[in-house]
Amino acid sequence: MSDEPIRAAGGVVVADGPDGRPRILLIQDRYGIWTLPKGHLEPGEDEAAAAVREIREETGIAATLLRPIARSRYPVCKRNVWRDKEVAYFLARAPLSEPTPAADEGIAAARWLPPDEALALIAYSQVRDVVRAALSALAA
Q: Could you give the C-alpha distances from 26 to 17, 60, 98, 140, in angstroms and in order?
A: 14, 12, 12, 23
How high is the pLDDT of residue 97? 96
Domain CATH number, residue 116: 3.90.79.10
Please state the rounded mean pLDDT for residues 31-54: 96
- Counting the structural domains of the chain, the total is 1
Of 137, 29, 104, nearest to 8 by C-alpha is 29
pLDDT of residue 123: 92
Supply the mean pLDDT for the chain.
Answer: 94
Q: What is the per-residue pLDDT for 2?
A: 52
Domain coverage including residue 130: 2-139
What's this model's pTM, rounded to 2 decimal places?
0.93
CA dist 91 → 8, 22, 28, 104 (Å): 15, 13, 19, 25
Averaged pLDDT for residues 112-136: 96
Helix, strand, coil % over all residues of the chain, rounded to 5:
25, 45, 30
Q: Which range has the worst mean pLDDT, 26-30, 42-46, 78-82?
A: 78-82
